[in-house]
């Protein structure tokens, strides 16, 4: 149609225009934040990250010879909102199930961190094992929080409990953590969660790089980034900002140390809450996504 020459369509992640069929990566947003306890507003995260992603260059800053210009990505749009969390969890589970059953890699834009639970359950149901690399200021390992069982502060607890009860193999490393309570530390112990605090990431750079590399060697890796892993100086627009966090470069260094032999089972970038800043957090999330995708697509070509 002649109008197509003049009109830009719907905003997609990185302006991608590939069809679903032609794509390796499928992105979708989850505009839901009803269990947020502090700064509500991550429902606007997907939209803000899409907008930011359309306004940065597609080269990789960290790996200068790679780019996501030709990344085969299709952006589905957002999961249809409904109030009831259980139904929303089910929707995300089904979206991820359908994406992976068509042989493609899901990319989820949050939305609250809660939705990492159904995303990984969908993957585990298919693969029975996964290595989880989580960047987060928090463990999210409470068994319940403020009278809610499933919420942004408890998703990892319920994921690990279900995985264990079904006999699925799940290895977990939480990186950049710096805010937790006693129950969570007990759960870290009982679930065997490996973790590196934010000060450790800076002080023991080489050791941590080595350990992440080892941990992910030949593994199916799911990477979950809660943007609050970054210091509020870099990303003030998140649900639960925590001082003393990572810089964007620290975070990218950690991600870069994922073994080249790992394959990417899925990826999410959660908790961007754009009402609390002037776009810094969405830009940080978009840049992070671009770097991760550049890294893995470079590897995909090599493989
Ligand atoms: Mn968090």
Q: pLDDT (tens digit, 9 = 90+) per residue, 112-123?
A: 999 999 999 999
The larger pLDDT score, comparing residue 299 to residue 81, is at 81
Query: Does residue 1 sit within a domain?
Result: no
User: pLDDT-derived band of residue 1, with 50, 70 and 90 as boundaries?
Assistant: confident
Kindly give the distance from the C-alpha atom of residue 231 to the centroid of ligand 1, in angstroms, as a whole number. 12
- Number of other CB atoms surrounding residue 16 within 10 Å: 18
Task: Say if residue 303's pLDDT is above 70.
Answer: no
User: pLDDT-derived band of residue 300, with 50, 70 and 90 as boundaries?
Assistant: low
Kindly give the distance from the C-alpha atom of residue 232 to the centroid of ligand 1, in angstroms, as a whole number. 12
Kindly give the distance from the C-alpha atom of residue 240 to the centroid of ligand 1, in angstroms, as a whole number. 6
Kindly give the distance from the C-alpha atom of residue 145 to the centroid of ligand 1, in angstroms, as a whole number. 14
Kindly give the distance from the C-alpha atom of residue 69 to the centroid of ligand 1, in angstroms, as a whole number. 30
Kindly give the distance from the C-alpha atom of residue 113 to the centroid of ligand 1, in angstroms, as a whole number. 7
Task: Say if residue 27's pLDDT is above 50.
Answer: yes
Query: Does residue 168 sit within a domain?
Result: yes
Query: Does residue 194 sit within a domain?
Result: yes
| Structure-token pair, residue 262 | 């790992």
Residues 106, 112, 114, 116, Cα dihedral to 10°: 20
Can you give the pTM of this predicted structure?
0.96
Q: Is 76 exposed, middle or buried (0-12, 13-18, 19+ CB in 10 A)?
A: middle
Q: What is the pLDDT averaged over residues 290-295?
A: 94
Kindly give the distance from the C-alpha atom of residue 153 to the centroid of ligand 1, in angstroms, as a whole number. 8
Kindly give the distance from the C-alpha atom of residue 70 to the centroid of ligand 1, in angstroms, as a whole number. 32
Kindly give the distance from the C-alpha atom of residue 148 to the centroid of ligand 1, in angstroms, as a whole number. 17
In the chain, the number of structural domains is: 1
Kindly give the distance from the C-alpha atom of residue 211 to the centroid of ligand 1, in angstroms, as a whole number. 22
Q: Is 140 annotated as ligand-binding? A: yes
Q: Is 228 annotated as ligand-binding? A: yes
Residue 197, CA atoms < 13 Å, CB-side half-sphere: 10
Kindly give the distance from the C-alpha atom of residue 194 to the centroid of ligand 1, in angstroms, as a whole number. 16
Query: Does residue 5 sit within a domain?
Result: no
Task: Say if residue 29's pLDDT is above 60.
Answer: yes
Mean of per-residue pLDDT scores for the chain: 95
Cα 272 to Cα 109: distance, rounded to the nearest angstrom: 9
pLDDT score of 4: 86
Domain around 288: 10-302
The enclosing domain of 243 has a CATH number of 3.40.800.10
Q: What is the pLDDT averaged over residues 238-264?
A: 95
Q: Is 218 annotated as ligand-binding? A: no
Q: Is 136 annotated as ligand-binding? A: yes
Query: Does residue 2 sit within a domain?
Result: no
| Structure-token pair, residue 203 | 């002080």
Cα 36 to Cα 39: distance, rounded to the nearest angstrom: 7
Tens digit of pLDDT for each residue in 178-191? 999 999 999 999 99
Q: What is the pLDDT averaged over residues 198-208?
A: 95
Kindly give the distance from the C-alpha atom of residue 140 to the centroid of ligand 1, in angstroms, as a whole number. 7
The answer to whether the Cα torsion of 12, 134, 38, 230 is positive or negative is: negative
Query: Does residue 30 sit within a domain?
Result: yes
Q: Is 277 annotated as ligand-binding? A: no
| Structure-token pair, residue 201 | 């990431």
Q: What is the pLDDT averaged over residues 162-168?
A: 96
Kindly give the distance from the C-alpha atom of residue 137 to the centroid of ligand 1, in angstroms, as a whole number. 5
Task: Say if residue 301's pLDDT is above 60.
Answer: no
pLDDT score of 222: 98
What's the maximum distance between 2 C-alpha atoms anywhere in the chain? 63
Tens digit of pLDDT for each residue in 56-106? 999 998 888 888 988 999 999 999 999 999 999 999 999 999 999 999 999
User: pLDDT-derived band of residue 299, with 50, 70 and 90 as boundaries?
Assistant: confident
Question: Are the C-beta atoms of 140 and 153 separated by less than 8 Å?
Answer: yes
User: pLDDT-derived band of residue 161, with 50, 70 and 90 as boundaries?
Assistant: very high
Cα 99 to Cα 247: distance, rounded to the nearest angstrom: 32
Q: What is the pLDDT averaged over residues 24-53?
A: 97
Q: Is 138 annotated as ligand-binding? A: yes
pLDDT score of 297: 84
**CA angle 129-264-95, nearest 5°?**
80
């Amino acid at each position: 149609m002649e109008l197509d020459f003049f009109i830009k369509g719907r905003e997609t992640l990185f302006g991608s225009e590939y069809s679903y069929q032609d794509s390796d990566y499928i992105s979708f947003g989850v505009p839901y934040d009803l269990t947020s306890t502090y700064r509500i507003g991550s429902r606007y995260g997907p939209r803000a990250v899409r907008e930011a992603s359309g306004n940065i260059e597609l080269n990789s800053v960290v790996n200068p010879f790679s780019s996501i210009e030709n990344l085969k990505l299709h952006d589905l749009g957002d999961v249809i909102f409904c109030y009831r969390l259980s139904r929303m969890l089910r929707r995300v589970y089904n979206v991820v199930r359908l994406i992976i059953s068509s042989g493609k890699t899901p990319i989820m834009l949050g939305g609250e961190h809660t939705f990492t639970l159904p995303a990984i359950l969908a993957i585990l149901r298919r693969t029975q094992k996964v290595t989880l690399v989580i960047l987060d200021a928090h463990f999210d390992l409470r068994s319940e929080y403020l009278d809610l069982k499933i919420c942004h502060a408890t998703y990892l607890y319920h994921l690990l409990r279900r995985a264990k009860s079904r006999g699925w193999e799940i290895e977990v490393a939480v990186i950049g953590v710096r805010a937790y309570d006693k129950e969570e530390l007990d759960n870290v112990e009982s679930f065997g969660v490996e973790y590196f605090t934010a000060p450790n990431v800076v002080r023991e750079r080489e050791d941590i790089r080595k350990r992440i590399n080892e941990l992910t060697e030949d593994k199916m890796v799911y990477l979950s980034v809660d943007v609050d892993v970054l210091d509020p100086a870099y990303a003030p627009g998140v649900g639960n900002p925590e001082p003393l966090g990572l810089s964007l470069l620290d975070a990218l260094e950690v991600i870069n140390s994922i073994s080249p032999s790992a394959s990417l089972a899925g990826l999410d970038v959660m908790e961007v809450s754009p009402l609390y800043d002037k776009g810094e957090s969405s830009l940080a999330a978009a840049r992070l996504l671009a770097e991760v995708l550049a890294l893995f697509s470079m590897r995909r070509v090599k493989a």
